[in-house]
Amino acid sequence: MMKATAFAVLAIAGLSLAAPASAQKTPVKPQIIDDPAYTKPQQLVDIGGGRRLNLYCRGDGSPTVVFDTGLGASTVAWGLVQPTIAKKYRACSYDRAGIGFSDAATRPSDAQNDAEDLHALLHAAHVDPPYILVGHSAAGMAVRVFADRYRDEVVGMVIVDGSHEDQSNREWAIDPPGGKARWDTSLKDTSCLDAAKNGAIAKGSPAYKKCVGDADPRYSQAINDAILKYGAMLKWQAAIASEFKSVFYASAEETRATRKDFGDMPIIVLTHAPYPRNKDWTQQMQDQHTLVWEDMHNQVAAMSTHGVNEIVPRSGHLIQLDRPEIVIDAIEQTISIANDEAQQSMVTSSK
């Protein structure tokens, strides 16, 4: 995700609606992602009507671990996690419509359409279930929609600092007066989309600085070149504008309508460490935001008899980049529980 837009996006899709940029930093020295797979399409799969999505699969073994990224991010977001998981299992990440190397979106970029596209992609590419779904940020809602709709194909979920359907209302209730109005105003800002339509996002221009930004030090130069290139495209600006709007409204409603009981399907939720106090908030407000975010994640974990919410020390919203080993461990635990449940079911059915 581009630096200039990252914190605005993360504030919407993550913990608080105004999380300070400093809160996204971590004292752990970042690992550099340099896999050339993130510099070009890996497998462009037609999911119907000539629409193609970029799919990156590696490894073998069941269940298949499927990664869905946060708002505006591409497959590279899992560059420190997917390779390790692929040593034992089939691991697939993908670019949503309009994002990364996928074709432009032809409908709103909300959780329901994300889930439908992902399902069509996996089946078109012959990536067979069962699936372990791993969703970061806004995709924390999309994977729940997927698991609700295609319950028989999903055996576990790992939700990495996931968005929640009630986050906007609960967070706005804590914010100073006018908080919701300010964010509604930001949702109406079409300057980046307009600039892309007019071909005005040229490198070095004010629009480029605002709408695309700078290279990310966590990625190699080649990967940054690819990210900055598609970040200036109309398809990316249109997709992120749609995702940005949907996460508050359409995606929230779609997720709210899903089941609240997933039985014994393992659900591990990872929550970032408490942020430092936002300069615009009192300490009491900061504490309230932290407790609300943790409470919403506890609610998601409680949807399973094998659910848990883990607070991850020394992490910001991008837990998969700040503490990839924690995400890897959560995925492996989820697979272990899912396999145990499957084995127990086979024993029971054979009696």
DSSP annotation of 260: S
| pLDDT at residue 288 tops 90 | yes
Mean pLDDT on 32-59: 97
| pLDDT at residue 12 tops 70 | no
The confidence score (pLDDT) of residue 119 equals: 98
Mean pLDDT on 168-173: 87
The confidence score (pLDDT) of residue 188 equals: 82
Contacts 24+ apart (CB under 8 A), 183-192: 183/12, 183/17, 183/248, 186/8, 187/244, 187/245, 187/248, 190/241, 192/237, 192/241
Higher pLDDT, 8 or 47: 47
Q: The domain that contains 326 carries what CATH number?
A: 3.40.50.1820
pLDDT digits (tens, 9 = 90+) for 203-257: 889 999 999 999 999 999 999 999 999 999 999 999 999 998 898 899 999 999 9
Three-state SS across 193-241?
Answer: HHHHHCCCCCCCCHHHHHHCCCCCCCECHHHHHHHHHHHCCHHHHHHHH
Place of tokens 């996006």: 9
The confidence score (pLDDT) of residue 277 equals: 87
Place of tokens 């995925």: 331
Mean pLDDT on 91-113: 97
| pLDDT at residue 96 tops 90 | yes
Q: What percent of the chain has pLDDT over 90?
A: 76
**pLDDT band at 345, cuts 50/70/90?**
low
> DSSP string of 62-79?
SSEEEEE--TT--GGGGT
The confidence score (pLDDT) of residue 278 equals: 85
Mean pLDDT on 146-168: 97
Mean pLDDT on 178-196: 82
The confidence score (pLDDT) of residue 348 equals: 61
Mean pLDDT on 66-82: 97
- 161 torsion bin: left (phi>0), alpha (psi -120 to 50), beta (else): left
Question: Which of 25-39, 143-157, 320-334 comes out lowest in average pLDDT?
Answer: 25-39
**pLDDT band at 70, cuts 50/70/90?**
very high
Q: What percent of the chain has pLDDT over 70?
A: 89
- Provide the domain limits for residue 50: 3-350
CA distance 260 to 264: 12
pLDDT digits (tens, 9 = 90+) for 123-135: 999 999 999 999 9
Higher pLDDT, 60 or 345: 60
Tell me the whole-structure pTM to 2 decimals: 0.90
CA distance 90 to 59: 4
Domain count, the chain: 1
